[in-house]
Amino acid sequence: MEIYLDANATTPVLAQARAAAMAAMADDFGNPSSVHSTGLKARALMDAVRARARRVLGAPNGQLLFLSGATEGIQTAVLSALHALRGAHSGGGTRPELLLYGATEHKAVPEALKHWNALLGLDLQVLAIPVGRDGRHDLAWLREHAPRAGLVCTMAANNETGVISDLDGIAAALAGTTALWMVDGVQALGKLPLRLADRRIDYAPFSGHKLYAPKGIGLLYVREGAPFTPLLAGGGQEGSLRSGTENMSGIAALGAVLAALEDGQSFRDAATLEAYRQRLAEELQRAFPGLVFNAPPELSLPTTLNFSVPGVSSRLLLDLFDAADMRMSGGSACSASKAQPSFVLEAMGLPEWQTASAVRLSFGPATEAAFIDEACARIRDCGESLRDSCLNPALQRQAAPAEGLTRFVVEGACCYLLADAASARCVIVDPLPELVERLAQWVRCQGYTLAAVLQTHGASAAGVAELCDAELGLPIEPGAVDALGWPQGVEQVTIGSRWLTRVSRPHGAVSYLVHDGSGVPMAFTGETTDAMAFEHAVNADTLLLPARDDDERFARTLRSERAAATGVTKASRELGVDALQAMLRAHPDLLLVDVREPYEQRLSQWPDLGVPVKTQAVPLSGLLDALPGWLALPPEVPVLFFCRSGNRSAQAARALHRLGHAQAWSLAGGLALWPRPLGLAA
Ligand code: PLP
């Protein structure tokens, strides 16, 4: 069962809302502008939903328009206000100088302000209202600037942190000014009493899909007497304020949600939601010692938690939760390799580590207790899994002893860790400053002896020695190692049954060869990209491991480089369901490889291909160790990689294919897109 904890992004559609939408599509499908009976029925439905919305929002007067969602509502409100400001100016009135918006506002607000300000040629100054550490607007700042403002935009509750704005405080700060006021009510709908008419709010946009209605339906409240300019002109629907035939299935569904809100049957009250959140918060703190919450719970929606775990990136946590079939989101936009810090948390002045590693958990007000029970159980499992992987600095429990080669990549730069479980020794090659803490944590947790920290080039060698001394606690005596970290006076560094030797490269750079009883299985080549430069030091299948891998090759070999000279195919290595079925029929000896990290693998099931196949779990970070085994397979045996989204498995398939195994494939779209069980029986 999927545990969906990303309700602030969107929600599933409530059963009664689905039924209402279906009825509006199949039976009562009329156009509310038609004068015949079918149309009249549709109009009656629309009027009834609008009346309900007025009750729920506390807005007996003013306009309440149906439109496509909050982004359209925000555009309409901003256009209306700015058009009126332009008119006031050309009429000789005093012109305001500022357009203000809360620093943690949804992007739709500042972008709309800038867009319409430029398009209407107003050239007003667009300024962010600062927020405090608690995420709330700086009211003193607002009081000072509001007299010069034409429009002030503040959200009712924040989508990332759940922080609830002090609307009465804002209203007081605006008292006596002529500024128009827009309140983005998206995250408050169904969770907070808004009392629109009791406050001097001029515009308030809402979105159906944040509260169990479908996407594509929203509401805009416009106070009686507030300036209005239609965004869409046309057939004159919605009293000519918003043209275009109404989205009747969306309106019907929204009506069912509002009805559920009014009857109180489907939605939990604030105390129950608060108790749910408390349970989740306690479970998270137990599972991830050191975890901090990024917003004060007493000022936040009872359905939202935003947290960070020291030393654990939000990307890693999201992958971990996703593996346990729990959906949450980054408090920030995560690109494939690096999380962007959250601008919301930055605006609150939180430390960099918190802004870059935040995770948002949010649930809807229709959540049942059994769902929270299951969520808590999965959070416990996730904590256990991370603990066993030596990844949480607050946990020093011994994990399964690590063995072999692990690769870390930071924006194309590679760092390697070679470990030997039997002798409990390891060596690090080309440590990156971004990884020092994580490597230190890993070495401490494993309890291994760090035999050496080696550099292949001198770019940051001095810095590395310092870092290692301070962070890793390495006993590096001054003069005991050379500038690149090699221990003085020794010819080789031993790691169990393997040993490293040095090869000098031009300009003071060094490469390191790794030997075992049978030859040189790998070499850390540093910045030298020309594999042929190693022709005399290594054999045809030695994995040549670079200090940078911008094109995600993982490794080169002399054999693969020679073959590349005769041409390499760039065709996709992805298999869709039909191709996979055909491949399974032709090759029952297919090898299925899970390239997710161990903390993800522990939490989830293998895909069911419908027929028994050989399987192997090799995280992408440990791919290099497994490559020789796959390269030694008969050429016709397919190796099929899979992961969560298809990205990591595609990298693995390309790498193996480039090294010479023609039958290297990845599962297109990853587990996320595959039906479970896959049901691929021939
Ligand atoms: N405002 C807030 C606070 C939101 O959370 C969102 C959606 O993420 C929007 C506006 C935009 O809403 P819509 O998706 O309906 O355009």
Protein residue whose Cα sits closest to atom 12 of ligand 1: 70
pLDDT > 80? residue 6: yes
Query: What's the whole-number mean pLDDT along residues 473-479?
Result: 59
- Among 113, 186, 191, 332, which residue has the most ligand 1 atoms within 8 Å of its CB, making it the best to mutate? 186
> Hey, what are 576's tokens?
């869709």
pLDDT number for residue 526 = 93
Protein residue whose Cα sits closest to atom 13 of ligand 1: 70
Ligand 1 centroid to Cα of residue 21, in Å, is 22
Half-sphere exposure of 275 (CA within 13 A, CB side): 8
Q: Which of 153, 334, 414, 426 is catalytic?
A: 334
User: CA 292, 298, 300 angle in degrees (round to 5)?
Assistant: 80
- pLDDT band of 441, cuts 50, 70, 90: confident
Query: What's the whole-number mean pLDDT along residues 398-413?
Result: 85
Ligand 1 centroid to Cα of residue 186, in Å, is 6
User: Could you say which DSSP state residue 177 is in?
Assistant: S
pLDDT > 70? residue 397: no
Query: What's the whole-number mean pLDDT along residues 153-179?
Result: 97
Protein residue whose Cα sits closest to atom 7 of ligand 1: 9
pLDDT > 80? residue 97: yes
- Among 66, 210, 304, 344, which residue has the most ligand 1 atoms within 8 Å of its CB, making it the best to mutate? 210
Position in ligand 1 atom list of the atom nearest CA 69 = 15
pLDDT > 80? residue 92: no
Position in ligand 1 atom list of the atom nearest CA 218 = 15
List, as one string, the DSSP characters of 522-573. Answer: EEEEET---GGGGTTTS-TT-EEEESB-TT----B-HHHHHHHTT-------
51 CB neighbour count, 10 Å cutoff: 14
Q: What's the pTM? A: 0.86
Ligand 1 centroid to Cα of residue 353, in Å, is 26
Position in ligand 1 atom list of the atom nearest CA 155 = 3
Q: pLDDT tens digits for 516-525? A: 999 999 999 9
Pocket of ligand 1 (CB under 6 A): 69-71, 106, 108, 155, 159, 184, 186-187, 207, 218
If residue 29 lies in a helix (H) or strand (E), which one and from where to where?
Answer: none
- pLDDT band of 498, cuts 50, 70, 90: very high
pLDDT number for residue 335 = 43
Position in ligand 1 atom list of the atom nearest CA 70 = 15
Is residue 334 part of the annotated active site? The answer reads: yes
* 300 alpha-carbon distance from chain centroid: 21
Q: pLDDT tens digits for 531-542? A: 888 888 899 999
Ligand 1 centroid to Cα of residue 402, in Å, is 45
Average pLDDT value over all residues in the chain: 90
Q: pLDDT tens digits for 208-222? A: 999 999 999 999 999
**Which residues on adjacent β-strands are paired with residue 153?**
101, 182
- pLDDT band of 364, cuts 50, 70, 90: very high
Position in ligand 1 atom list of the atom nearest CA 158 = 3
- Among 159, 160, 300, which residue has the most ligand 1 atoms within 8 Å of its CB, making it the best to mutate? 159
> Hey, what are 322's tokens?
């996703």
Which residue, 20, 72, 74, is CA-closest to 49?
20
Position in ligand 1 atom list of the atom nearest CA 157 = 3
- Among 207, 215, 301, which residue has the most ligand 1 atoms within 8 Å of its CB, making it the best to mutate? 207
Query: What's the whole-number mean pLDDT along residues 469-492?
Result: 75
Ligand 1 centroid to Cα of residue 207, in Å, is 7
Which residue, 562, 526, 552, 566, is CA-closest to 652?
552
Q: pLDDT tens digits for 567-608? A: 555 567 999 888 888 998 999 999 999 999 988 988 887 877
pLDDT > 60? residue 246: yes
Sign for the CA dihedral angle at 525, 528, 532, 534 comes to negative
pLDDT number for residue 572 = 74
Q: What percent of the chain has pLDDT over 70?
A: 91
Query: What's the whole-number mean pLDDT along residues 659-680?
Result: 79
Query: What's the whole-number mean pLDDT along residues 446-451?
Result: 86
- Nearest-angstrom CA–CA distance, 573 and 666: 6
pLDDT number for residue 674 = 73
pLDDT > 60? residue 58: yes
Protein residue whose Cα sits closest to atom 16 of ligand 1: 71
Ligand 1 centroid to Cα of residue 209, in Å, is 9
- pLDDT band of 679, cuts 50, 70, 90: very low
- pLDDT band of 680, cuts 50, 70, 90: very low
Ligand 1 centroid to Cα of residue 175, in Å, is 27
Ligand 1 centroid to Cα of residue 70, in Å, is 5
- Nearest-angstrom CA–CA distance, 77 and 348: 26
pLDDT > 70? residue 81: yes
List, as one string, the DSSP characters of 260-324. Answer: HHHH-SSS--HHHHHHHHHHHHHHHHHHSTT-EESS-GGGB-TTEEEEEBTTB-HHHHHHHHHHT
- pLDDT band of 332, cuts 50, 70, 90: low
Position in ligand 1 atom list of the atom nearest CA 9 = 8
Query: What's the whole-number mean pLDDT along residues 656-668?
Result: 94
- pLDDT band of 505, cuts 50, 70, 90: confident
Please state which of the ranges 317-331, 370-384, 462-476 shows the lowest mean pLDDT: 462-476
- Among 106, 113, 189, which residue has the most ligand 1 atoms within 8 Å of its CB, making it the best to mutate? 106
> Hey, what are 316's tokens?
């890693």
Please state which of the ranges 102-111, 327-336, 538-547 shows the lowest mean pLDDT: 327-336
Query: What's the whole-number mean pLDDT along residues 146-169?
Result: 98
| 523 touches 543 (CB < 8 A) | yes
Q: pLDDT tens digits for 250-272? A: 999 999 999 999 998 899 999 99
- Among 71, 187, 304, which residue has the most ligand 1 atoms within 8 Å of its CB, making it the best to mutate? 71
pLDDT number for residue 340 = 77
- pLDDT band of 472, cuts 50, 70, 90: low
3-state secondary structure labels for all residues of 45-59: HHHHHHHHHHHHHCC
pLDDT > 90? residue 45: yes
Ligand 1 centroid to Cα of residue 349, in Å, is 23
Protein residue whose Cα sits closest to atom 5 of ligand 1: 159
Ligand 1 centroid to Cα of residue 106, in Å, is 7
Between the ranges 192-201, 455-464, 648-657, where is the mean pLDDT highest?
Answer: 648-657
Protein residue whose Cα sits closest to atom 9 of ligand 1: 70
Position in ligand 1 atom list of the atom nearest CA 105 = 3
Sign for the CA dihedral angle at 311, 316, 322, 328 comes to positive
Protein residue whose Cα sits closest to atom 8 of ligand 1: 9
Ligand 1 centroid to Cα of residue 171, in Å, is 23
- pLDDT band of 434, cuts 50, 70, 90: confident
- Overall size of the chain counted in residues: 682
99-113 burial, b at 16+ Cβ within 10 Å, e below that, comes to bbbbbbbbebbbbbb
Please state which of the ranges 18-32, 188-202, 386-400, 413-427 shows the lowest mean pLDDT: 386-400
Position in ligand 1 atom list of the atom nearest CA 72 = 16
pLDDT number for residue 331 = 65
Ligand 1 centroid to Cα of residue 285, in Å, is 29
